[in-house]
Structure 1
Amino acid sequence: MSFGKPERYEEEPRTRPRTAVVAVCLVLGLGLIGGAVTGSWLAGDGGDGGARDTYAVAGTLWHSVPVDKLFPPTVRGTGAGPGGADRTWTRVAVAPDTGCGNAFDPLLRKALAPVGCERLLRATYTDATQSFVTTVGLMFTTADAAAMNALAGRFKSEGLATRTDLMPLPYARKGTAAARFGPGQRASWTVSVLTDAPVVVYAVSGWADGRSVDTPVPAEQAMQSGATSAPAQAGLGNEAQGLADRIERSLRKDVTSPTEKPS
């Protein structure tokens, strides 16, 4: 290994390229830092000040983002169906943004109470064949990150997301494919308590023909290989989980441009 010749004071011209290199590195470094802040939200990772900023921004999306961005008129689910089949969901109803007073069964309302309810947004979709209907909801909470982490931990440790007495309610509207989608038609569901945003994301699915369901099955069980229940065989677990996942992804993207107008 060899070293270059020592610099002399009179060799001033050689310092200019070095100054330029330092400046370029500084610009690149700032760009990487800025990208990391945005990336921490999109990837769901925490990151000190950047994470706190995106957490706060996420809590305001219910009134700063157009409904067509939170709940797109059409949602495509590549590989979201059973066996990796593609899915396309069409929005048939959007509920007025409300509080959570009458939007959940009593036990689920009690389970979610520790994080508070700032606003609840809901929309109902149907699949391409109009055989199934799925309500997806975004509950914006009043909680800080610690409270959301605590609730997420409780849902996981106590298996609250798989209890049939803690299913979300559907949202039905007359004159649509979801007109007969009531509490007795709930077939599969999922509830996700986010820890990097003050939001609970959920979805509940059923048949569009109004048939009642004696034994609903949580999405994670309905999607398991070899599941033989009627909701599993129909792919209703995939309907609920696939749509919830894509609405959550859309929410994460919206935090980077919450005031952008829909095209």
Structure 2
Amino acid sequence: MSFGQPEVYDDDARPRLLGRRGASQAAAAAACLVLGLGLISGAVTGSWLIGDSGEEGSRSTFSTAGSLWHSVPVDQLFPPTVQGKGAGPGGADRTWTRIAVAPDSGCEDAFDPLLRKALAPVGCERLLRATYTDATQSYVTTVGLLFTTADAPGMTSLANRFRKERLDRRSDLMPLPYAAKNTPAADFGRGQRAAWTVSVLTEAPVVVYAVSGWADGRTVDDPQPAEDAMEPNATTAPAQAGLGNEAQGLADRVERDLRRNVRSATEQPS
């Protein structure tokens, strides 16, 4: 884009073009230009030296997220009570109460073999799980946070694979529940899984998942991915009971709390 040369006035109030200014004025302008470019270059170089760039910030956030499993209290990762405003069927509100927290562990016996194999490329640093029940204690839902050992490209690769191959919708890749004794989830086993969701994050080394079922221990012959069970025209028993909403709603809110904890940790002064 080019602009016409603006007019100014000399001492006799006659118009003259800026391009006709004297040699001294041109030299002064050139000096200012060089000085300005030097200041800008110095500022940019300084920001690189101190790591003040978006890429560096992303790496720092990713690293911070991976350490939350041992630096954040369990009540912040899995709150005792989770409010699900509008999370139920038809936009109904939900309230989930935590009834059990599993000891933090590895992943050796935490997943069915096929899901363990699918998740193997990103490794397992730590697995945190908690089980919740709804306000009526009719349903139980286990939500999990798998902290991996992968870097950002590794998480992106796994997320792309899950999306392209639709691995999060395969019933043979359902997560396992955490059935705590002496709780409403005591009978929540493999055969009781009704709806589930698995989310592979790309901005953090974490896989978030949830699986829901009935609290009375009934078996389920037709489990559905939460996304399918939440469809308005879904007619399966899990869909009619709102178990897709239970799994998806709780997983979404735990993931939201995780992101909030990452922001809080990265904003703290070092």
Tell me the TM-score range normalised by the shorter chain.
0.7 to 0.9
SS in 2 for 1:256: helix
Aligned residue type for 1:165: D
Which runs of 5 or more residues in structure 1 are unaligned?
4-29, 31-35, 38-46
Q: Secondary structure at the match of 1:172?
A: coil
| Structural RMSD (CA) | 2.3
Mapping for residues 130-145 of structure 1, pairs under 5 Å: 130-145=137-152
Does 2:252 correspond to 1:245?
A: yes
Deviation at 1:174, TM superposition (A): 1.1
Considering Cα pairs closer than 8 Å and 6+ residues apart, tell me whether 1 or 2 has the greater RCO: 1
Equivalent in 114, 117, 140 of residue 107 of structure 1: 114
**Greater Cα radius of gyration, structure 1 or 2:** 2
Shift of residue 48, structure 1, vs aligned partner: 1.3
Residue number in structure 2 paired with 1:40: none
SS in 2 for 1:255: helix
Task: Tell me if structure 2 keeps the 8 A contact 1:64–1:258.
Answer: no
* CA deviation profile, 1:74-102 (whole Å, cap 9, x unmatched): 00001000000000000000000000000
Q: What residue identity is the alignment partner of 2:233?
A: G
What is the aligned partner in structure 2 of residue 27 from structure 1?
A: none
Change (3 A) 1:48 1:232: same
1:152 corresponding residue in structure 2: 159
1:7 match:
none
| Aligned-residue offset at 1:2 | 10
Q: Partners of 1:78 and 1:58 in 2: how far apart?
A: 26
Matches within 5 A, 1:174-189: 174-189=181-196
Conserved? CA contact 1:87–1:128, under 8 Å: yes
- Residue 121 (structure 1) aligned with residue 118 (structure 2): no
* Equivalent residues, number: 224
Shift of 1:235: 0.4
Query: Match for residue 96 of structure 1?
Result: 103
1:188-230 deviation digits (Å, cap 9, x = unpaired): 0000000000000000000000000011000010011111010
> Which has the higher mean CA deviation after the structures are superposed, 248-257 or 147-156?
248-257
Give CA deviations for 1:156-206 in whole Å, capped at 9, x if unaligned.
000100000000000011111111101100000000000000000000000
Equivalents in 2 of 1:194, 1:93: separation in Å?
25
CA distance in 1, matches of 2:160, 2:239: 27
Shift of the 227–64 alpha-carbon distance from structure 1 to 2, 3 Å rule, reads same
1:77-88 → structure 2 map (5 Å cutoff): 77-88=84-95
Question: Paired residue for 1:54, among 61, 66, 69?
Answer: 61
The match for 1:13 is none
Q: Distance in 2 between matches of 1:2 and 1:66?
A: 68
| Alignment correspondent of 1:16 | none
TM-score (norm 2): 0.79
What is aligned with 2:236?
229
In structure 1, the residue corresponding to 2:264 is in which secondary structure? coil
Q: Separation in 1 of the partners of 2:145 and 2:250?
A: 12
Partner Cα distance (2:244, 2:148) in 1 = 26
Alpha-carbon distance in structure 2 between the residues aligned to 1:249 and 1:64: 17
**Counterparts of 2:69 and 2:247 in 1: how far apart (Å)?**
21
Deviation sequence 1:24-43 (CA, Å, 0-9, x none):
xxxxxx9xxxxx99xxxxxx
Distance 1:114 1:132 in 2: 33
How high is the sequence identity, in percent, across the aligned residues? Answer: 75
**Correspondence 1:217 to 2:224:** yes
* SS of alignment partner, residue 250 of structure 1: helix
Question: Runs of 5+ in structure 2 lacking a partner?
Answer: 1-5, 9-46
The TM-score, its normalising length taken from structure 1, stands at: 0.81
Cα distance in 2 for partners of 1:208, 1:95 equals: 18
Aligned to 2:171: 164
